[in-house]
Structure 1
Amino acid sequence: MFVRGVALDMDGLLFDTERIYFRVGQVLMERRGHTFTLELQQKMMGRVGLSAIGQMIEHHSLDDDPVALLAESDDVYGDLLLGELRPMPGLDAWVDRLRESGLPFGLATSSRRKFVDMILPTTGWSDELAFVLTGDDVTHGKPNPEMYLKAAERLAMPAKQMLVLEDSGNGAAAAVSAGAVTVAVPNEHTRGHEFSGVHLVADSLEDSRLWGLLPEPGTEIPA
């Protein structure tokens, strides 16, 4: 097994945004007399925009218009994002390892483009990304494989030669379904998720088993 490119999820994998999303859910549900739970958050993880909001509406039998509720969610999230944004443990070391490997790597996130455009400038490596795919670029969100099939297209390689890192069950299912070499890196919100079919469940971005899937610096990458 060898890989020639890498696709990275963002929320909960590179940045601790799930904590912010949970706060957004709390605010929205408190306004409607409901409680936002971890169970509901897990249903929403990895889903794109209106699909995620649909889970919220269905879960609490809300009568809100999905488009209006999504806009309200965006307003709350945008207000919290930059002040609350934190990198996941080991992010800088993992990016350094990616650079050393010589493999092209890109972002494949269900987040909206406008929020990705807020987050990436806070990093020192956004200009090194081979591609950026967001929830605005797909019709079907995770667990549908569309996101990772498109990522493989952007990398100009078969999905089976692409390494995908995901933190959630929905995201991992999308990558596995696309045929990618999938590594789950669960966080405190997703440790109980199902990760069927993944190559590895890593402890963190600094897990030596994960690093070992990348070629050593100076290794010639097969065409």
Structure 2
Amino acid sequence: MIEAVVFDFDGLIRDTETYEFYSFQEVLKEHGVELPLELYCKRIGGHVNAFDPYFYLQECIGKPINREQLRTLRRQKYDILIQNEKARPGVVQYLEAAQKLGLKIGLASSAPYDWVMPNLEELNLAGYFDCIRTHEDVQHVKPDPELYLNVLAYLGVSPQNAIAFEDSPNGAKAAIQANLHTIIVPNEVTKHLIFDDYTLRIHSMLEMDLQQIIAHIKHQAQ
């Protein structure tokens, strides 16, 4: 029986990842450097240090860069790109449905708390979550399963009775290793990536409602 749903944040609830990528692309392009998606995607859904766009830029141009200046410029570009971006389609409906069904609702994100919470508050979604776990709460972020296991321990729910919603291969690996039913909903950037395993892939949360997802999982278990 499904007792809980656990959501990733970046790229899943709000498509921050696509606009982060676009903003880095713009900064590097101003220096005559193309940013390959396959390199950038190493940092999506996991530790940001898995790929450093600034170090990559410095290597490509062969001279030192002013990181702080570029960080400020990149963030300015991101803020402009993201300003009209709300929650991804279907997210609010899933959260409302989970509440109506009496399910516990968790969030497991590799990002810092001071990034996740302002975004959730801006979207008026923070109040839906019974448990929020971020970078600071664990020793190892995704693809390690620790974030998911931490959330489930707090909620008092076994992995077999929980559904994870993810948009990236790193996140999906974490959820699968934690033994949750894993639904992937890739965004504009991550839809091009290879996912090793998952329970179900949908293009948007509008494609299937939460009750249909639960029915699909129950049918698979029979």
Q: TM-score, normalised by structure 2?
A: 0.79
| Partner Cα distance (2:92, 2:86) in 1 | 12
Contact 1:142 1:170 in 2 (8 A): yes
Deviations 1:97-149 (A, max 9, x none): 12221101121112222211221112333123111112232322221212211
Total equivalences in the alignment: 211
Aligned twin of 1:38? 37
Q: Secondary structure at the match of 1:7?
A: strand
In the alignment, structure 1 residue 192 sits paired with structure 2 residue 186: no
Aligned twin of 1:167? 167
Q: Percent identity?
A: 27
Aligned twin of 2:218? none
| Partner Cα distance (2:78, 2:159) in 1 | 35
| Partner Cα distance (1:72, 1:112) in 2 | 21
In the alignment, structure 1 residue 147 sits paired with structure 2 residue 168: no
Task: Give the CA deviation at 1:199.
Answer: 1.0
Closer/same/farther in 2, CA of residues 115 and 166 from structure 1, 3 Å limit:
same
Task: Give the CA deviation at 1:73.
Answer: 4.1
List runs of 5+ in structure 1 lacking aligned partners.
216-223
Q: Secondary structure at the match of 2:165?
A: strand
Task: Give the CA deviation at 1:28.
Answer: 4.5
In the alignment, structure 1 residue 6 sits paired with structure 2 residue 14: no
Give runs of aligned pairs for residues 51-130 of structure 1, distance below 5 A.
51-53=50-52, 57=55, 61=59, 73=71, 76-77=74-75, 80-81=78-79, 83-130=83-130
Aligned letter for 1:110?
S
Task: Give the CA deviation at 1:24.
Answer: 3.1
Closer/same/farther in 2, CA of residues 163 and 72 from structure 1, 3 Å limit:
farther
Closer/same/farther in 2, CA of residues 91 and 80 from structure 1, 3 Å limit:
same
Aligned twin of 1:220? none
Aligned twin of 2:208? 208
Range with greater deviation from structure 2 (114-123 or 56-65)? 56-65
Closer/same/farther in 2, CA of residues 9 and 75 from structure 1, 3 Å limit:
farther
Task: Give the CA deviation at 1:9.
Answer: 0.7
Range with greater deviation from structure 2 (200-209 or 169-178)? 200-209
CA-based RMSD of the aligned residues comes to: 3.1
| Partner Cα distance (2:63, 2:114) in 1 | 23
| Partner Cα distance (1:70, 1:3) in 2 | 46
| Partner Cα distance (1:70, 1:176) in 2 | 37
List runs of 5+ in structure 2 lacking aligned partners.
216-222
Contact 2:20 2:78 in 1 (8 A): no
Contact 2:39 2:51 in 1 (8 A): no
